[in-house]
Amino acid sequence: MNPLEPPPPYTTSDPSPARIFASSFNSRGAPPVYSSPHTFPIGRCAVDPFVTVAQIKGHLALLHAFAELKTSVEANNFAEVPHVPAEKKQRWVWFVGLAVERFEKWCIALSKCGARAVLPPVDVLMVWHAYSLNPAWYAEDCLRDEMLAALRVTGNGIASSLGPRLVDLISNPPSENRINTWFDLTSTPFDCFEFASQTSTRGIACPKCQVINHVPTIEFLSAYLTANGTGYLQQTFSVQCAEPSCRHEITGDGLGLRKLVNDLTRETKGISDLLAGTVHTSTNIRNVKHAASIKAAMLRDATLKRPGSKTGVVFRDAVYADLVMERARYKMDTLKACLTATMEDDGGHLINRILSAYVDDKMFSVDLILRQVSFVAKMHDLQWTKPGFFDSPEDETALQHVIVRYHAFLDLMSSSPASFFVPTLDIDLAWHTHQLMAENYAKDTMKYIGRFIDHDDLIEEHKLANAFVITCRAWKTRFGIQYTHCGCPLPSDTIGQRLSRLARPISLAPSRDPSYLIPQDRAHLRAATHPSDHNAVYRQKRDAASGRVAEVQHDPAVLVPVLI
């Protein structure tokens, strides 16, 4: 879409776009005492709720634990660790990087010992949570990589505990059995601060000579404070191979290149030999034929073609990989040019998706450090993560309303497969909760929406603004009510402008529309109908006379859309 053009009109495949979400919504008068419907329409089907109030409460307890961890890390100067960044944000990035390191250790241990029904430490849980919220990558990685198969089973076990059991586990000190099981699995202390204090190196294989080098992670952290840092946990990581006959400069780019070349040159015998980003498609979560055809097309390039000897003996995979590395001059850009040449004119997006999975030497196809986004902070600012916040039946109404709006959002997506919709904060909370239950999420979206719905938070600003306008129009058309209730204006029709800022108390005037999709006249419910990446600072007070009073301070909106 041209950023200077207005957004296109919303179109729907449903012959009755103005229908209301349930027949009982059509009455007029004061809103009834809120009770959630027992089933929800998605397309032509009536479904039981995909998420429950108890599961959302369990998810909020997780988010609370993550917020508390971040506060503790920022308050700890790690005096015993050399060169830890002094700036809080950089210290948190370092800490999350170490959390990803031991999440990987955990995954490797699970692959050797099998799934374990024991909850890992909170920092590892945080990384698993971030991974799960990239559902297409998570699902594909667990299919492609045999070392992640046990993670899928263990993750399903964690998801099944969402609710009071999980709240109890993360709210109380870990049991001795939980601590010992973790140490037996990973040979690392359960306490994440103790782990951070003890961890200084990571073993990496030189992408040129394959000699293992133990690279300090702490020694280079001081470079966070400079423009040319070279630590492993930095984007400009660089270290010389320790092998005297090699001395190759090892970078993150080079590590990712070696991982890609190994996948490209490995003989295709099964799903684990296919390229990341090619197996999982929106209509087929195990599209092996599609992935194999992409790899075969790439290997037709002269640079990538497997050579044979005069006697017809094909080169072994390892020798073949080394040859391709040499042909690519150990540069990702060189190999990218070769891959792009094998694709048709519209293959650029696919190439970029594939290459995004090959940025380092880890087994994961998504950067789990970058994916620690601000959603936890938003829920914390709303005070929704506060223990006991939804204990009373009156307060629990908010979560019932979240569930209703989430299913309406799914219904909206089912009605217009080509559209690009933006969730609000409350909808995103339920959506994230659903994604944590990875197997159920895949089955539910494929069955009732007709395709796997991914979650992508790396979208250009003008597309977000357009998508938000389209979402508001589509919601109004389909359900007959407005999409947001927080007092925010719609983005200007001049595409490219950031959303307007507005700072005023939320109106508590009674609504005339009794639809279950309209929140009750309570400020914390209306505040949650901001677009999902709308940075809101929420200040809430209780007093006996007026109940909850809220003020929302709006920053320029950066939305999180649905990638169809």
Q: Residue 443: what pLDDT?
A: 96
Q: Residue 464: what pLDDT?
A: 76
Q: Report the distance separating Cα 72 and Cα 55, nearest Å.
A: 26
Is 523:508 a contact under the CB 8 Å cutoff?
yes
Nearest of 380, 390, 400, 412 to residue 518 by alpha carbon: 400
- Beta bridge partners, 543, equal 547
- Inside any domain, residue 9: no
How many CB atoms within 10 Å of residue 532? 25
Distances (CA, A) of 122 to 78, 173, 195, 360, 492: 18, 11, 12, 24, 42
- Inside any domain, residue 385: no
- Inside any domain, residue 479: yes
Average pLDDT over residues 272-297: 95
| φ, ψ at 249 (rounded to 5°) | -80, 115
pLDDT, tens digit, 9 for 90 and up, residues 321-375: 999 999 999 999 999 999 988 887 667 889 999 999 999 999 999 988 766 667 8
- Inside any domain, residue 238: no
Q: Please state the domain count of the chain.
A: 1
Average pLDDT over residues 181-196: 94
Residue 60 tokens read as 């909020």
pLDDT, tens digit, 9 for 90 and up, residues 385-394: 999 999 888 8
Q: What's the whole-number average pLDDT of the chain?
A: 78
Whether the predicted pLDDT of 22 surpasses 50:
no
Domain range spanning residue 481? 23-50+394-426+456-563
How many CA atoms does the CB half-sphere of 206 hold within 13 Å? 17
Q: Report the distance separating Cα 528 and Cα 143, nearest Å.
A: 35
pLDDT, tens digit, 9 for 90 and up, residues 491-543: 433 222 322 222 222 222 222 233 455 555 555 555 555 455 432 222 233 33
Whether the predicted pLDDT of 487 surpasses 80:
no
Whole-prediction pTM value?
A: 0.81
Q: Residue 62: what pLDDT?
A: 95
- Inside any domain, residue 464: yes
Tell me which of 28 and 253 has the higher pLDDT.
253
Q: What percent of the chain has pLDDT over 70?
A: 72
Lowest mean pLDDT among 11-20, 75-84, 220-229, 255-264: 220-229
Per-residue confidence at 114, pLDDT binned at 50, 70, 90? confident
- Inside any domain, residue 449: no
**Distance between first and last Cα of the chain:** 15
pLDDT, tens digit, 9 for 90 and up, residues 47-97: 999 999 999 999 999 999 999 999 999 999 888 777 777 888 888 988 998
- Inside any domain, residue 484: yes
Strands ordered across the beta sheet of 536-543: 503-505, 547-554, 536-543
- Inside any domain, residue 373: no
Per-residue confidence at 229, pLDDT binned at 50, 70, 90? low
